[in-house]
Amino acid sequence: MATNALKLPEVEYMLPGNRACAGCSVGIVFRHLSKALEGKAIFVVPASCFTVLCGMYPTASVTVPVMNSVFPGTAACASGIAASLKKQGREDMTVVAMAGDGGTADIGIQGLSGAAERNANVFFVCYDNEAYMNTGTQRSGLTPLGAQTSTTPTFGKLQFPKDMPAIVEAHHIPYIA
Ligand SMILES: Cc1ncc(C[n+]2csc(CCOP(=O)(O)OP(=O)(O)O)c2C)c(N)n1
Ligand SMILES: [Mg+2]
């Protein structure tokens, strides 16, 4: 990466008028990430609020390539794209898998584990809004203890969230943050 958080380029890769809810972190995450990568990225996005932000064909709210994957398949699709880019000698593009907490810690965890175990050349980003927001705020494996969602008891979630960084760390990959 040729830039840092204090020197993000002026160019925008997320267009105004997109369908994200006002104030949602997913737009901020994508906006900064795409700037940091100077738009040289292919995104893989499962069903999530981020899909909603990106828009429906034939219109789009982002100016970088985005592949919509099935909910569990994000890391597998990203692995395949990375392998294809390698075969083509394209080292200028970063493959970014960007999933919500549900798409990362619950349904997407097996694909993520496989990609991590193979040390796939993929940048996996989990934007953790702490529930299945896109479908009505159901609890996820990363919803915090005590948080109230549409599928938790009145007094909130009874379980601790999964320790996702520790789970990923157990795969001995080169970078986790
Ligand atoms: C196999 C499958 N099951 C359920 C769904 C319905 N579904 C779409 S998005 C979503 C929740 C996504 O939650 P999360 O990954 O946290 O992303 P967020 O919506 O919070 O951005 C669900 C349950 C689906 N698309 N595919
Ligand atoms: Mg979520």
Query: Percent of the chain scored above 90 by pLDDT?
Result: 90
pLDDT at 6: 85
Residue 60's closest CA among 71, 52, 72? 52
Residue 25 in contact with ligand 1 by CB distance below 6 A: no
Residue 73 CA to ligand 1 center (angstroms) comes to 12
For the chain, the average pLDDT equals 95
**Best of 18, 44, 48 to mutate for ligand 1, by most ligand atoms within 8 A of CB?**
48
Q: Would you place residue 2 in the very low, low, confident or very high pLDDT band (cuts 50, 70, 90)?
A: low
Sequential DSSP letters for 106-135: ITTHHHHHHHHHTT-S-EEEEE--SSBTTT
Residue 133 in contact with ligand 1 by CB distance below 6 A: yes
pLDDT digits (tens, 9 = 90+) for 15-31: 998 999 988 889 999 99
In the structure, how many helices (H) and strands (E) does the chain have?
6, 4
Interhelix angle 109-117/74-87, rounded to 10 degrees, is 30
Class of domain 23-169: alpha beta
pLDDT digits (tens, 9 = 90+) for 160-170: 999 999 999 99
Residue 78 CA to ligand 2 center (angstroms) comes to 20
Residue 132 in contact with ligand 1 by CB distance below 6 A: yes
Whole-model pTM: value is 0.95
